[in-house]
Structure 1
Amino acid sequence: MRDNGSSTGISLSLPVMMLCLLIGISACSTKGSAPVYNRAVSPSQQGVATASNNKPVNPSAHRYKSSRTYYLVQPGDTLYAIAWRHYLEHEHLAAWNGIKAPSYSIYPGQRLRLKPPEVRKKRQRQPLDTTPVKKVVKKPQSTTPVVRPVTKSPPKPTVAKSVPLKKSVATNQKKRVKLAWRWPTKGRVVQTFSSSDQNRKGVRIGGEIGQPIKAAEAGRVVYAGGGLVGYGNLVIIKHDKNYLSAYGYNRKLLVKEGDNLAKGDIVAHMGSPHSGGQPVLHFEIRKQGKPINPLPLLPRK
């Protein structure tokens, strides 16, 4: 009986297995395939992917370039102040606008160009050659040889080599002279320079109200006033063709435009950026119109 039961179970399971196999084959042979869904990329993800492929943008690449093309002169403006405000060299600004040195005179309402004018290349037309063409007539060659007397060429005169004159000692010394900066006032540096932050184009030196501010190098005062926004009472000194220095947030100015200063001369008394704020000096050095870090130029304390 056990054997019969086992054979019966096997015989019953075979049809079931065949039925399952047929169902599976029919499902696989059905036309079409499983649905495929394309998941669209969101705009935010697409932006991230694009940004990862592009090179990083340097935020300070065009930081010290003026975005304006023209500037309208206001009452109280000077050429140096306008050049300082737009990170330009005053000599370039004067040349672009036909302003002559050394006065650099400007007037209110004058429109100044802040960028060099575009130079358009003109096509040069080649002039037509109108000279008449001459006909060359060949002469009959003579059969008799021509005997010419042999003459010796005269000896070439000897030219003494010119010895370059030595430059004067004063000229050589003038080229060797370098600016030797000094600290404009006593105190601790409370804010350092940053090339990536427009609000930190110089350093701030803490101190006390009324403390003397001195010229960091010899030069000529080219600006003294409070017309530049963000600097308070400001003094700008021109030291040579390349370098300018500025002293801001002063309570009182002791110099005027055109004054010639020696290194260490007192130019102002220390003030503060805001009423009741911490007394500081904003000290800035610019080379060819662009702010640079003044700390490497100053002596170590």
Structure 2
Amino acid sequence: MGNRLAWLPAIAIGILLAGCSSSQKTSVSVVDRDHPATTQQRQPVTSGQYRVQRGDTLYSIAFRFGWDWKALAARNGIGAPYVIRPGQIIRFDGQGQSRPTAIATAPVTRKPVTGSGVASRPSVQPQQPVVPPRSQPQTAVVQPPIATKNASGARSASGWVWPASGPLIGRFSSNGSLNKGIDIAGELGQPVLAASDGSVVYAGSGLRGYGELVIIKHSDTYVSAYGHNRRLLVREGQQVKVGQTIAEMGSTGTDRVKLHFEIRRQGKPVDPLQYLPRR
């Protein structure tokens, strides 16, 4: 009996340690461009700041940190056409506003040269305007748009079509640490289609965990994202039509060939199956 009582503290400590090891870690808002936790955020980051890198757009930053692009623009005093530049600071806490740095030049003045009591006219060279360099998106080779039929041949009541044909292998989860969209399996190089009309606001591989990614703005409310492509066939600023081929399916940023597809409403992920037509 005495030996059994002596074991009780050891057993209690073992149970406590097992419980601690199985508990989930508390998520922390991170503003590091390449930190994997960045892509796991569901709630918008509301503290800290982010320095714009080459290839970023306002839309890709809003997508990465869970913001509605209009709200993020307003928070930083950025107006239409919403151009940002490398080195610019984007704030999430609202303390101060971020504006592109203007490059100004002082006017050149010359004193008149006096000779025999007559002042000569100053010689002033015309000043060339200095234009800040624009950030060029890092995109793949762009090809002319290829019009194709949508994967299912049908549209939903709201006008959406399936972005690819193939079995559904991953579903949306309301838990922020899990899937924020759906995953569709397919063949390498298979066409990836625009799910609705819109404008390409990001095309590149700057968002860790998404591989070669396309983001399309459909309205002031909705954007859609297409990840893990092998090749991008559109460029930023390009208008696309529903059912148009925008990329080739691949496995960049993941372990198998598939399309990761998201729809975001005012910056928040929503279940794409609520918008896509039934198969």
TM-score (norm 1): 0.57
Find the residue that maps to 1:284 and give its secondary structure: strand
2:212–2:252 CA contact under 8 A, matched in 1: no
Q: Is 1:75 matched with 2:51?
A: no
Find the residue that maps to 2:264 and give its secondary structure: strand
4+ runs of 1 displaced by more than 3 Å?
115-118
Question: Paired residue for 1:290?
Answer: 268
Find the residue that maps to 1:223 and give its secondary structure: strand
Question: Paired residue for 2:212?
Answer: 233
Percent of aligned pairs with the same amino acid: 50
Partners of 1:199 and 1:68 in 2: CA distance:
23
* Cα distance, 1:74 vs structure 2: 1.6
Partners of 2:218 and 2:162 in 1: CA distance:
15
Structure with bigger gyration radius: 1
Task: Note the 1:157-236 alignment, pairs <5 A.
Answer: 179-236=158-215
Give 1:115's match in structure 2, choosing from 87, 93, 99: 93
Q: C-alpha deviations, 1:144-165, integer Å up to 9, x for none?
A: xxxxxxxxxxxxxxxxxxxxxx
Question: Paired residue for 1:265?
Answer: 244
Q: Is 1:281 matched with 2:259?
A: yes
* Cα distance, 1:91 vs structure 2: 1.1
* Cα distance, 1:117 vs structure 2: 4.7
2:250–2:259 CA contact under 8 A, matched in 1: yes
In the alignment, structure 2 segments of 5+ residues that lack a partner are: 1-11, 17-26, 28-40, 97-156
Partners of 1:84 and 1:228 in 2: CA distance:
9
Question: Paired residue for 2:233?
Answer: 254
* Cα distance, 1:109 vs structure 2: 1.7
Q: Is 1:65 matched with 2:44?
A: yes
* Cα distance, 1:197 vs structure 2: 4.2
Question: Paired residue for 2:278?
Answer: 300
What one-letter code is carried by the residue in structure 2 that aligns with 1:64?
Q
1:179–1:217 CA contact under 8 A, matched in 2: no
2:200–2:234 CA contact under 8 A, matched in 1: yes
Find the residue that maps to 2:210 and give its secondary structure: coil
Closer/same/farther in 2, CA of residues 269 and 105 from structure 1, 3 Å limit? same
Question: Paired residue for 2:221?
Answer: 242
Find the residue that maps to 1:268 and give its secondary structure: strand
Count of residue correspondences: 186
What one-letter code is carried by the residue in structure 2 that aligns with 1:291?
P
2:46–2:93 CA contact under 8 A, matched in 1: no
Question: Paired residue for 1:94?
Answer: 73
What one-letter code is carried by the residue in structure 2 that aligns with 1:114?
F
Find the residue that maps to 1:108 and give its secondary structure: coil
CA RMSD, 1 decimal: 2.6
What one-letter code is carried by the residue in structure 1 that aligns with 2:267?
G
Partners of 1:197 and 1:112 in 2: CA distance:
23
2:73–2:79 CA contact under 8 A, matched in 1: yes
Partners of 2:177 and 2:258 in 1: CA distance:
18
Q: C-alpha deviations, 1:212-242, integer Å up to 9, x for none?
A: 0000000000000011110000000000110
What one-letter code is carried by the residue in structure 2 that aligns with 1:213?
V
2:210–2:253 CA contact under 8 A, matched in 1: no
Q: Is 1:106 matched with 2:106?
A: no
Find the residue that maps to 2:208 and give its secondary structure: coil
In the alignment, structure 1 segments of 5+ residues that lack a partner are: 1-43, 49-58, 119-177
Find the residue that maps to 1:221 and give its secondary structure: strand
* Cα distance, 1:274 vs structure 2: 5.2
* Cα distance, 1:112 vs structure 2: 1.2
Find the residue that maps to 2:66 and give its secondary structure: coil
Q: C-alpha deviations, 1:96-144, integer Å up to 9, x for none?
A: 1111112x121222111113459xxxxxxxxxxxxxxxxxxxxxxxxxx
What one-letter code is carried by the residue in structure 2 that aligns with 1:87?
G
Partners of 2:270 and 2:93 in 1: CA distance:
22
1:213–1:270 CA contact under 8 A, matched in 2: yes
